[in-house]
Structure 1
Amino acid sequence: MYQPGPRQLQFTHLLIAAMAVLPLVPLLGAPLLADERVLFYEARKFVALDPWAPFQLPIGGSGSFRPLSTYAFWLDAGSPPYISHAINLGLYLILVFVARSWMQQSFSWPAAQLGTAFFAVHGVHVASAGWVAARADLLMGLAVTASLLAQGRGRSVLSALLAGIAVLFKETGIAVLPMLLWSAWLSPRSVNQRWLAALLAALLLAPLFALTVMRAEVAASYWPSLDGLLAGLLWLPLYIVQLFAPLYQPLGALSRPGDQLGLLVAVAFVLPFLLLGWRVIARLWALGLGLTFLAVLPVLHVLPNDGGQWYLLLPSVGASYCWAAVMEQRLGRAPGHVVGMRRTYLLVGLLLLLFAFHSLWQSCRWQEASVRVDRMIEAARVERQAGGLAMGPMPQDPSSWPHLGPSLCCGFPYQLFEPVPPRWPGSAPLSSPDSGE
């Protein structure tokens, strides 16, 4: 089996890190959107009033119960937006290397690197890594992937704990249980630890998922419905094709010429890709496809909402596994086929470059849209204040937030060098516990 040297390892680390981060750099300048400000503000407010509030109240967004995500937003609440975006990119970079370690358990070193590179430049990650409000999806995907990695290494207890953590980051992390079961089913029969990991995860996830459902106070439309599932099934083919060839936005494929062209190119690529997949080791191909579809199931009913891009982070892990499986089949030829291997590397390199440019283009579009929305919010705020009306219950600028207590890593030093900001119009002063009010 091929083993890279130290210099090649270092170069590969840097190359994959660059492929993951560089297409997303434009997002560092994006302002916070309204829902991101709400998540930061609520996290800072409730944790300051009671450090255990996230485990008692449904304050994870949309009335959902996501206690660990609330602490993740409290981490940098009140900090400048670029710090929050940088934290998201850092978490995404960690996820990329965890996914690489997981794929290296099944594939040769070159195939695992190519699968990781595909995952790093995947266009659907622009929303998860760039939209700060999608940090819950990012952390949930990281916990699920780490659980699969621990299962493969025979660390059953750690795998089960990570599965439970995934559900506490976001309830859709329940997909980790069927994913662990599917991985155990397709593993060699001698590896009993994988079944143990799935069993322990089931015992832990049952009460945790029940807790997230009972504590949630979401609208009825948030839960799966027959209409939502049927709509998701209609859109599912477009999203599946995008997972294997991220060159378009599914909701724009019916209206925007650029996405329509991207869909045609993606279909032309996916068809031979799937044909190549049938030649791959059946167990590996079935594992990748199964993980992809199992990760989609919990979010099937919400795929048509808002483009559904941040819901595809976890399914893209399975799609990247399929990519690595195809690369294993193509690169696993006899040493005499050097020309064929060079052509394969050249073709894959061009495809990865195309995917990276598409991710960069999506990042620029996302940043421009964020700036445009921020200007609309500011214009509305100025107009309402000119008429003597408050903009609403939540301030638009972190520097104008009330002094409710520091966050952990960035909010505290940020407050040390800033004066205590005034309260926004119409807000009542907070009652002190010692004031008797």
Structure 2
Amino acid sequence: MRANHLKVISVEKIRADFPILQREVRPGVKLVYLDSTATAQKPLAVIEAMDKYYRWSNANIHRGVHTLGEEATALYEAARQRVARFINARKTREIVFTRNTTEAINLVAYSWGRSQLHPGDLIVLTEMEHHSNLVPWQILGAEKGLRLEFVPVTDDGYLDLIAYQQLLEQRPRLVAFTHMSNVLGTINPVTQMIELAHQAGAMVLLDGAQSVPHLRVDVQALGVDFLAFSAHKMLGPTGIGVLYAREDLLEHMPPFLGGGDMIKKVQLRSFVPNEIPYKFEAGTPAIAEAVGFAAAIDYLENVGMEAIAAYEHELVAYALERLATIPGLKVFGPPAEHRGGVVSFSIEGVHPHDVAQILDREGIAVRAGHHCAMPLHEKLGVAATTRASFYLYNTFDEVDRLVEALQKVQTIFG
């Protein structure tokens, strides 16, 4: 039975705010967008905020004293303040704008990691990490002679916390893990994991790319040292992301990139870096994108993060129930109560790319592949999966359309 989801959020009202959801991908075939884990769609509020900036206040920031320059600077810094409030950072200067989650993690690796880690130091990661939280540490590890160890993923899609505690006994310098898996949907027990890591003397980097758009994330309550996330997965534009880091850490980290705006003084043979967070924001930033980011946060807050999480939980529970009726379909990951709005699956005898292509004929957008998590798929024993991911604008009827289309897949492939 479907729960009365309309008491949680007004889905039809929300859908009216997203122009792309009205699209027919071909005549008579309306779009069903189930790929928000890759990138979320954008409401009119975000589109219009960016359009207004370009039409009315477009200028470079932190430079000109003219009206447009001052307006652009004010909008950009207001966006930083908005992000800080959204994740409950202590200070606005703890928010560094980056291009995306990937760049934010690389910033930590190249700045904090290069300056603080030494040969033989241990970094603990997990088997469910996105490549963005694996490759930077592999590069740094090869450069500096670091050790990398990995928390195993259990057969039912959880992190092995006993193995995690055993790894912590080796006194790692850094623990880096995802808050929510982009493949399994698993929501990890991050409060417990951060506390245990700190007790072992380790710093903690949390990949919040999948959690910040869907859950209330409070950096002070978590006590996390670094948090990385992107605007485009939370109704905002592409090209802008965030590194949150504690003020004392940022103060002692060397610049990541060199150039304009990250300096206070430059001579031919030396320079003095700017204060934080500007020390890490070289060159002209994504100003319009910051404006859109702030509008996206306002939109999410107006709906309510708790309401969004509750609705997605209800939606994914229904999806798991319906998918279980399809013979030969295997869902990877934990039950609904321990996952976000992500469902990755395989169909016996059918390649995930074939599944995705047939679904596309029915107007249903999903992703097929390894989802930038090849080691996790190797652990699962599959080369690829098909992934349907849900957000606040998806409906129970769209889940039904997905199931009907998957039944067509089975008919086609016998």
Pairwise same-fold verdict (TM > 0.5): no
* Max Rg structure: 1
The interval holding the TM-score normalised by the smaller chain is under 0.3
